[in-house]
A and B are shown apart, each in its own frame.
Chain A
Amino acid sequence: MEQNHIKKQINSARNSLFQQGYLDEQFIQLEDLQDDANPNFVEEIVTLFYSDSTRLIRNIETALDNYPLNFCKLDDYMHQFKGSSSSIGAKKVKEECSQFQECCKARNTQGCIAAFRQVKHEHATLKRKLETYFQVSPSNSLYNTHIISRQGA
Chain B
Amino acid sequence: MTVEEIRGVNEIDRFPIGMRVLAVDDDPTCLKLLDGLLRKCQYQVTTTNQAITALKMLKENRNRFDLVISDVYMPDMDGFKLLELVGLEMDLPVIMLSGNSDPKLVMKGITHGACDYLVKPVRLEELRNIWQHVIRRKVESKPQSKSNNNHEKSSQGNEGGDQNVKLNRKRKDEDEDVEENGHESDDDPSSQKKPRVVWSIDLHRKFVAAVDQLGNEKAMPRRILDLMNVDGLTRENVASHLQKYRLYLKRISHQANMVVAFGGSKDASSYMRMSPLEGFGDFRTLSSLGRLSNAAYAPAGILGRLNSATGVTLHSLMAPPLVQETQNKLRPVNHQNMNLFQDIPSSFDQCSNKPNTQLTDFSSVEESRIFTGTKLADFNSIDESRMFTGSNPLTDPSVVLGSKPSLKLSSTGSDSFNLLSSSSNFLDQNGNQPSNFSSNQLPIGENYGYSATVSGGIRSSITATAAVPLEAHGGGLVGEIMQNVNNQSLSNQKNGQYSKQDYSQYSQNAFSTLASLALASGGGGLSGPLSHGGLNGGTSALFKTEMPGLETKMRSGEDGFVVNNIYGSLDDLMTGMTKREQEARMMMDGEFGYDPYAFGPCT
Give the B-binding residues of A (Cβ under 8 A).
Answer: 26, 29-30, 32-33, 37-38, 41, 44-45, 48-49, 52-53, 76, 79-80, 82-84, 86-89, 145-153
With A41-B36, A153-B44 as contacts: A89 and B121 at CB distance below 8 Å: yes
Q: CB-CB contacts of B123-138 with A at 8 A, as 1s and 0s?
A: 1100000000000000
Q: CB of B27 within 8 A of chain A?
A: yes
20 A-B pairs whose Cβ atoms sit less than 8 Å apart in the complex: A30-B36, A32-B124, A33-B37, A33-B40, A45-B29, A45-B33, A52-B27, A52-B29, A76-B73, A79-B100, A83-B98, A83-B99, A83-B121, A86-B120, A88-B29, A149-B53, A149-B57, A150-B46, A152-B44, A152-B45
B437 → A minimal CB distance (Å) = 41
Give the A-binding residues of B (Cβ under 8 A).
Answer: 20-22, 27-33, 36-37, 39-40, 44-49, 53, 57, 64-65, 73, 98-100, 120-124
Q: Is the CB of B65 within 8 A of A147?
A: no
Q: Which chain B positions have C-beta within 8 A of A49?
A: 29
Give Cα A28–Cα B414 distance, bound, in whole angstroms: 54
| Interface core residue of A87, A148, A152 (most chain B CB under 10 Å) | A152
Q: A44-B32, A80-B27, A87-B33 are in contact. List 19 more A-B contacts (CB 8 A).
A: A29-B123, A33-B36, A41-B36, A45-B32, A45-B33, A45-B36, A52-B27, A53-B29, A79-B99, A80-B73, A80-B99, A82-B99, A83-B99, A87-B121, A88-B29, A149-B46, A149-B57, A150-B46, A152-B65
Q: Which chain A positions have C-beta within 8 A of B123?
A: 26, 29
Q: Which chain A residue lies CB-closest to B27?
A: A84
Q: Is the CB of B99 within 8 A of A86?
A: yes
Q: Which chain B positions have C-beta within 8 A of A89?
A: 121
A134 → B minimal CB distance (Å) = 16
Give Cα A88–Cα B49 distance, bound, in whole angstroms: 18
Give Cα A145–Cα B28 distance, bound, in whole angstroms: 10
Give Cα A32–Cα B39 distance, bound, in whole angstroms: 12
Q: Which chain A positions have C-beta within 8 A of B121?
A: 26, 29, 83, 86-87, 89
Give Cα A150–Cα B23 distance, bound, in whole angstroms: 10
With A76-B73, A80-B73 as contacts: A147 and B31 at CB distance below 8 Å: yes
B285 → A minimal CB distance (Å) = 43
B249 → A minimal CB distance (Å) = 38
**A-B pairs with lowest CB-CB distance, top 6:** A83-B99, A84-B29, A33-B36, A152-B44, A49-B29, A86-B121
